[in-house]
Structure 1
Amino acid sequence: MRRSGINGAVAAVIAAFLVAACGENTGKGSASSEGRDSSANSTSREPWTEADLDLVALGERDGEKPGRIPMSTGPSERRAEPDRCSAIARTLGRSSSAYAAHARINRTYGGKGTRPGAVMTLASHRTGDAKRVVRDFRTAADNCTAFKEGRLTYADVEVQPDPGYGDESVSVRLVEVVSYPDGVKIRVPHAVVVLRQGTTVAMFHHFVRPNPSDGKKPARIPDELVKRQVEKIRNFGAVK
């Protein structure tokens, strides 16, 4: 395929992914650390409001200028084949879960220097549901190797070492595989981190736009961004 054809295919991949992942929202060894419960918004154990999440999300006062996309508080109905991988599929793009949230917001952070960008979703739940969101993602990560969601195909699902964020966290890498009739295949690396701090669940997603000059550049979630967000959630919960 000529360079122009590759570029067109890349654009199609990105467009198809964004439409499929963002249009709906109504291990290999465990990489989790359950029971760190240092707490966060644990004094009241009441789920936060959308206004609370807006205050706690990293923004201009934190040196960030994120984009925003409206989110539904309803449970996501996105399904993967096999179904055991659905919890992973729901975290791609405008991330959500199978559980209704008291409030849910989205932020899109651009890259800075060598730091990659990331899409983040913050959702407030009752304590039990917040724990179940992470549990379901962990179970899917431990038991899923490849899946399809609509026309999208994913492979090489791999649990990463526990990053140790918040009360519990899970990190996963996977690859989106796009095949064309002429035999060309485009591999799009994705990375996802799901964490819980008190009754708030944060999901981070990043994917690498295909570029022949990048070789096999992996997707990664910026560690400093996640740590600053967790700290802000923890500090806000301590005074609320």
Structure 2
Amino acid sequence: MDVKSNMSRAAMALSAAALACTAACGGGGGGGGAGEEKAGGKTSASAAPGLGKAKDKAPQAPLTAAQLDEAALASGDVPDYKVTKTSEADMPAGSVPAEPAACQPIADMFFFTSTPGAESRTGRTLAAESGLDATVTSLALLAHERSDAEKVIADLRTASDKCTAYKHTDYRYSGVEALPIPEYGDEAVSYRLKGTIEDTTLTMTFTIVRSDSTLAAFYAMKALGGDEVEVPAEVIKAQLAKLEKVRKKSGV
């Protein structure tokens, strides 16, 4: 299968994950909201609180694939959420050009890839067990050299300011909106966009956090629609805490 076909397959799988819980979700949404994030304008990502907090210590070596798997959330780590591992087929490593090029970092992060590329990655999908919450959250841990992780965050910040709409692997995305920077990790970036995939339009909210050399990337979609979708704060906090626990255990 060529890269483009693989990317298209992943796009459909990711949108299907959000739509799959529609039958089980009775009423409206109501996904847990990240208190640190509120809708903002394009200028909200121009500053970066926390940027450089790790500058005064030696960079940590990138985590291994085994360490990432140990650090990633599992069922039971966050109450009331079911966690499944993302297949490699749904996390293609290849990058397909986006139009316009200014949107490339955002297009890549939809598949949890980046330039510079991660040395290893692992992904998870979380769905609330409550039938009242139609939010599906995807996350990935990406192991980088710290300078590369910093560049990925900087490029996403720039792209969320400059990009408004783009085409990628035959799908169209619009309404790219930079959100206020959440105070997680050493630095973070957050933004929102709409994706039209197989005649279905979904709003997606992204939060990407740098913890030294590791990126913890999250995005949320609501199967029942609606613009007010947020990455649940409890998921972000639990993932960062587990990542830090593995890092301390490993001595990195």
Aligned mate of 1:33, from 41, 44, 49: 49
Partners of 1:97 and 1:18 lie apart in 2 by 20
Residue 88, structure 1, aligned to residue 106, structure 2: yes
Q: Partners in 1 of 2:194 and 2:69 — Cα distance?
A: 31
Counterpart for residue 229 of structure 1: 239
> Which of residues 59, 72, 78 in structure 1 aligns to 2:74?
59
User: For residue 140 of structure 1, what is the aligned residue in structure 2?
Assistant: 159
> Could you say which structure has the greater relative contact order, defined with CA pairs below 8 angstroms and 6 or more residues apart?
2
CA deviations on 1:59-99 (whole Å, 9 max, x unpaired) are: 1351553233127999641221100001111122x321122
Q: Which residue matches 2:230?
A: 220
1:30 shift after superposition: 4.1
Rounded Cα–Cα distance in structure 1 between residues aligned with 2:240 and 2:143: 14
> Equivalent residue of 1:86, what SS?
helix
- Structure 1 residues 83 and 19, CA gap change in structure 2 (3 angstroms): farther
User: What displacement does 1:217 show?
Assistant: 4.2
Aligned pair count reads 211
CA deviation vs aligned residue, 1:175-205 (integer Å, no higher than 9, x gap): 124697xxxxx53211111110011011112
1:47 to 50, 62, 84: 62
TM-score if structure 2 supplies the norm length?
A: 0.72
1:102 and 1:230, CA in 2 relative to 1: closer, same or farther beyond 3 A? same
Q: TM-score normalised to the size of structure 1?
A: 0.75
Query: Could you list the runs of 5+ residues in structure 1 that have no partner in the other structure?
Result: 1-13, 181-185
Cα distance, 1:120 vs structure 2: 0.8
**Letter aligned with residue 194 of structure 1:** I
- The answer on whether the counterparts of 2:187 and 2:209 sit within 8 Å (CA) in structure 1 is yes
Q: How far apart, CA to CA, are the structure 2 residues paired with 1:121 and 1:148?
A: 23
Is the radius of gyration larger for structure 1 or structure 2?
A: 1
- Find the partner of 1:121 among 140, 146, 152: 140
Consecutive unaligned residues in structure 2, runs of 5 or more? 1-7, 17-40
The corresponding residue for 2:181 is 162
Is contact 2:122–2:142 with CA below 8 Å preserved after alignment?
yes
Instruction: Tell me if the contact between 2:143 and 2:214 (Cα under 8 Å) persists in the aligned partners.
Output: yes
Does residue 110 (structure 1) correspond to residue 118 (structure 2)? The answer is no
What secondary structure sits across from 2:85 in the alignment? coil
The answer as to whether partners of 1:59 and 1:65 remain within 8 angstroms in 2 is yes
